[in-house]
Amino acid sequence: MCTRSAPGDGGTPATPPAPSPAPAARAFDAVLCDLDNVVRFYDTAPLAALERAAGLPEGTTTDIAYAPEVDLPLLLGRITPAAWVEAIAAGLTERVGAERARALGRALADAPFRADDEVVSLLRRARTHVPLVLVTNATLQLDADLALLGLTDLADAVVSSAVEQVAKPDPAIYRIAADRAGVPLARCLFVDDRQENVDAAVALGMTGVLYREPADLRRALGPCAEDAGERGDGGRGAAAPRAGASGPREGDPEVLFGGLANAGAVLRRGDAVERPAPPHAAHLHAHLRALREQGFDGVPVPLGLSASGRRERLSYVPGEVAVDPHPPWTWTDDVLRSVGALLRRMHDAAAAVPPGPAAGWPTDLADPEGAAAPGAVVCHNDVCPENVVFRDGRAAALIDFDLAAPGRPVWDVAMTARYWAPMRGRDGLDPSHRLRVLADGYGLGRADRAALPRVIEQATAVCRAFVERRVERGDAAYTAAYEESGRAVWDRHQTWLADHRGALTAALLTD
């Protein structure tokens, strides 16, 4: 479960400026605007070509993808885009086969998009008169998408269904948006391309506009569609409209590599990284600071949390990360030895830092013996290649501590071995030799060396249980792969570990 991290906080913007007094002719004091099919438009031509090649009617994939039981969990932030792709593929597999079904799902999820410059210009002009709030049924990738469009500064606030965990046409999301705008519902102009969403807004007392083309928005905005400078009233003091803001600009955030849990949700802004915060972020940040106070600089510096607590800011750690497909240098002995040494340095620093209350740590991949184990420290629990930063060919820092929890140091070594030896099998690599190299790099004592193979078996069982819990919860990213071959793979893997326990132990203990 190498849960790779991968941008801004769409749900917790600063309070927008108060609107200027409304002219008598204006029926609204704030604009609440949809994003997709109003501001942002997708190019589905590549998907349509794949559907034709597969012998499917055009639109088949979207019919499955946008069914409420498939789409709503994504829009409420309950599953990742990767899980959504697997759910789409599950609905197509019988018709086109598993491989082609996944390709169709990925083509939809990765469809290129653009912003309508005319609509962007109209909204920027409106914002010089009244607050503008984007209210959208969107995924947790929304911040990254706005950055790629160059629209992170378009609105005073962004209300996202995935962050608020409520979607249009639920009245609750409209109330949240009006509150962010700082005006009563009855003084809001609501713009959306779906009739049911507009009807829900009107039922709450808003002025509703069903969007079909930019002219609809221009008519609804009236004088607010003009430049404040043209009217001579000075507007609200907002930035002047910027034309052509439909692509990334110099200085926009960089979307960093993401993985299963946080794909598309991690941004680099200069020397800082913004990412989804784990529930125990405040507790974890205190631990990272304490590690640095003990002289271990191989962790990010916590820079704070968003107002909602849903996103965190950490210092950017420069260096190279071995993302999949892993480069050849990933599997050299020198790199493996340096990973062990880095983990040992972290554990030595952690030994001087009390773990804190057990309730503050996640249990997903934690050592079952936990903080009660003799010599327990806060373990990383997810030291996969994607979570190690290298400089000059050596492991220099660890990132993504979301699954960190108290446990035996040998537990963390076992978890690390699963990825790096690796204990899951990889052509051309000798697990016994690499396990010895990792243990040597760490400086593992003889008693822990003797115990390590059994601890790896225990850690593998915990990892399997983690995956099976995700499958039971209906997480499509895990379900499709597990149902196809997962049980057999895990069975073979666990049998191999038990059968080779003696050989692994001998390799670790031989002088």
Q: How many residues does the chain have?
A: 511
Count of Cβ atoms closer than 10 Å to residue 428 Cβ:
5
At residue 25, the pLDDT reads 58
**Has residue 484 got a pLDDT over 90?**
no
Please write the tens of the pLDDT for every residue from 80-136: 888 999 999 999 999 999 999 999 999 999 889 999 999 999 999 999 999 999 999
Residue 244: band (very low, low, confident or very high) from pLDDT cuts 50, 70, 90: very low
At residue 476, the pLDDT reads 64
Pair (258, 360) in one structural domain? no
In a domain, 370, yes or no: yes
**Has residue 10 got a pLDDT over 80?**
no
Which among 447, 429, 425, 402 has a CA at the least distance from the CA of 494? 425
Cα–Cα distances in Å, from 99 out to 82, 89, 102, 162? 15, 9, 5, 29
Quick one: how far is CA 273 from the chain centroid? 12
If one counts the domains in the chain, the total is: 3
**Has residue 191 got a pLDDT over 90?**
yes
In a domain, 227, yes or no: no
Domain extent, residue 304, equals 254-315
How far apart are the C-alpha atoms of 42 and 24, rounded to whole Å?
Answer: 38
Domain boundary among 269, 297, 315: 315
Count of Cβ atoms closer than 10 Å to residue 8 Cβ:
20
Structure tokens at 438: 């990792």
Residue 144: band (very low, low, confident or very high) from pLDDT cuts 50, 70, 90: confident
Output DSSP code: residue 1. Answer: -
Pair (303, 336) in one structural domain? no
At residue 274, the pLDDT reads 87
How far apart are the C-alpha atoms of 300 and 209, rounded to whole Å?
Answer: 46
Q: 206 near 186, Cβ under 8 Å? A: yes
How far apart are the C-alpha atoms of 505 and 328, rounded to whole Å?
Answer: 27
Pair (298, 333) in one structural domain? no
Which among 400, 378, 297, 304 has a CA at the least distance from the CA of 342? 297
Which among 72, 88, 65 has a CA at the least distance from the CA of 168? 72
Task: Output phi, psi for 301, to 5 deg.
Answer: -90, 120
At residue 8, the pLDDT reads 29
Pair (264, 340) in one structural domain? no
In a domain, 475, yes or no: yes
**Has residue 390 got a pLDDT over 50?**
yes
In a domain, 135, yes or no: no
The label of the residue with tokens 């013996």 reads 369
In a domain, 258, yes or no: yes
Structure tokens at 221: 């905005």
How far apart are the C-alpha atoms of 163 and 137, rounded to whole Å?
Answer: 10
Q: Are strands 302-305 and 30-33 parallel, antiparallel or unpaired?
A: unpaired
Q: Give the predicted TM-score (pTM) of the model.
A: 0.59
Pair (380, 341) in one structural domain? yes
In a domain, 30, yes or no: no
How far apart are the C-alpha atoms of 159 and 16, rounded to whole Å?
Answer: 13
At residue 259, the pLDDT reads 61
**Has residue 307 got a pLDDT over 70?**
no
Quick one: how far is CA 350 from the chain centroid? 27
Q: 412 near 379, Cβ under 8 Å? A: yes
At residue 499, the pLDDT reads 95
How far apart are the C-alpha atoms of 266 and 312, rounded to whole Å?
Answer: 10
Pair (482, 422) in one structural domain? yes
Pair (341, 370) in one structural domain? yes
At residue 31, the pLDDT reads 97
Residue 477: band (very low, low, confident or very high) from pLDDT cuts 50, 70, 90: low
Cβ neighbours for 96, distance < 8 A, ≥ 6 positions apart: 54, 55, 56, 104
At residue 485, the pLDDT reads 67
Pair (304, 352) in one structural domain? no
Please write the tens of the pLDDT for every residue from 37-90: 999 999 999 999 999 999 999 999 999 999 999 999 999 988 888 899 999 999
Question: What is the chain's Cα-based Rg?
Answer: 26
- CA 166, 170, 176, 178 torsion-angle sign: positive
Domain boundary among 68, 87, 109: 109
Domain boundary among 315, 339, 362: 315
At residue 96, the pLDDT reads 95
Pair (298, 342) in one structural domain? no
Which among 464, 487, 463, 467 has a CA at the least distance from the CA of 475? 467
Pair (407, 492) in one structural domain? yes
117 sits in which H/E element: helix 117-127
Quick one: how far is CA 158 from the chain centroid? 17
Task: Output phi, psi for 72, to 5 deg.
Answer: -60, -40
- Residue 335 sits at the vertex; the CA angle it makes with 334 and 341, to the nearest 5 degrees, is 90
Which residues lie across from 495 on neighbouring strands? Answer: none
Pair (492, 404) in one structural domain? yes
Cβ neighbours for 359, distance < 8 A, ≥ 6 positions apart: none
In a domain, 208, yes or no: no
Please write the tens of the pLDDT for every residue from 316-356: 999 999 988 899 999 999 999 999 999 999 999 999 998 87
At residue 53, the pLDDT reads 93
At residue 422, the pLDDT reads 81
In a domain, 293, yes or no: yes
Specify the CATH number for the domain of residue 467: 1.10.510.10
Pair (289, 330) in one structural domain? no
